[in-house]
Amino acid sequence: MNAKPDCIVCLLNQYLKISRLCGLEEETIKTNFFGTLAELSELNEEMTPPEIAAYCTNSIEKTSGVSDPYKDIKILSNESAMELYPELKQRVSDAEYPFAEALALAIAGNLIDYGAKISLNLHDALEEILSQPLFQHIEEGEDFNQELFQLSRFHNELKSAENIIYLGDNAGEIVFDRIFIETLLKEFPDKKITFVVRGGPALNDALLEDTADVGIDKIVDVMSSGTATAGTVLSNCSEDFLDKLYAADLVISKGQGNYEALSGQELPPTWFLFRIKCDLVAEHAGGPEGALVLKKNRLVKEAVI
């Protein structure tokens, strides 16, 4: 998905937020901001939003010397989410449809804004999200939107997939991914799952150290994509990751950043799981802003054995 002018505006707002998080003085931020804006006008028009976001954050790092401004937030996000882990595991165990319940939790984890509201009561925030009517449909194993959320088809395709790549998103959120993966493996114990995170700091996205903090590395293989962008930009990924990606039977792609980077790419059967957060993605994905998406990528590349 190529970036549009609206994306630039959004990313520059993000640029300001990160600059202040890094402790830069306002005059320095102003100088860098206008310099970056001028440079953005010269960039390739086919760049995706995650690529432009990485360009902006690299510019901030050069000035501030801060390589991972969200590090403390990510640690706190993981710790806060892990406090809920026992309760959430019991919730899935007690559910009539554990797979659907765990999937609902994985989505709910994506909706909690850790970066902006890490001080909030995560339990209350989670209950508020899961009380929405559409989550009741998910928890009951229903396809509440045949175009945007194809739960039954997703579940059926998982049955025949042996080698699965799971592209993670944010720190904290990966605790909910862990619960979903554990539930998936309980139902389909023969599956081989590789959980993939970023290859370097990209906003509050998870890194390999985060998978260790929440224990995902104890239940499945973990690896990085080799790219430090808030989305899996294939041209920047490592050969090792690409080999594993194209050998997969099925890919689960979490978060809008991964959708922006991968939508329209020729991939193995890939299921996007995210919430539509802006009008441009809404138009591209075919649903309203705020809608939940569980749908398959249009272009499918056969696995390379």
| pLDDT higher than threshold 50 for residue 268 | yes
Least confident of 14-28, 111-125, 192-206, 279-293: 111-125
Please give the residue range of the domain that contains residue 174.
71-296
Instruction: With respect to residue 304, please indicate whether it lies within any of the assigned structural domains.
Output: no
In this structure, the answer to whether residues 203 and 278 fall within a common structural domain is yes
In this structure, the answer to whether residues 171 and 113 fall within a common structural domain is yes
| pLDDT higher than threshold 70 for residue 87 | yes
Q: For residues 249 and 2, which has the higher predicted lDDT (pLDDT)?
A: 249
Q: For residues 299 and 25, which has the higher predicted lDDT (pLDDT)?
A: 25
Residue 133's pLDDT is 82
- Would you state the structure tokens that stand for residue 218, as one six-digit string? 């104890």
Residue 301's pLDDT is 57
Residue 304's pLDDT is 42
Span 116-143, mean pLDDT? 77
pLDDT tens digits, one per residue of 49-65? 888 888 788 888 888 99
Q: What is the pTM of this model?
A: 0.90
CATH code of 194's domain: 3.40.50.10880
In this structure, the answer to whether residues 154 and 259 fall within a common structural domain is yes
Q: Band the pLDDT of 122: cuts 50, 70, 90.
A: confident
In this structure, the answer to whether residues 40 and 78 fall within a common structural domain is no
In this structure, the answer to whether residues 168 and 94 fall within a common structural domain is yes
Residue 48's pLDDT is 83
Q: Band the pLDDT of 305: cuts 50, 70, 90.
A: very low
In this structure, the answer to whether residues 120 and 178 fall within a common structural domain is yes
Q: Band the pLDDT of 136: cuts 50, 70, 90.
A: confident
d(CA 75, CA 23): 19
In this structure, the answer to whether residues 57 and 193 fall within a common structural domain is no
| pLDDT higher than threshold 60 for residue 302 | no
Handedness of CA 130, 101, 116, 36 (dihedral sign): negative
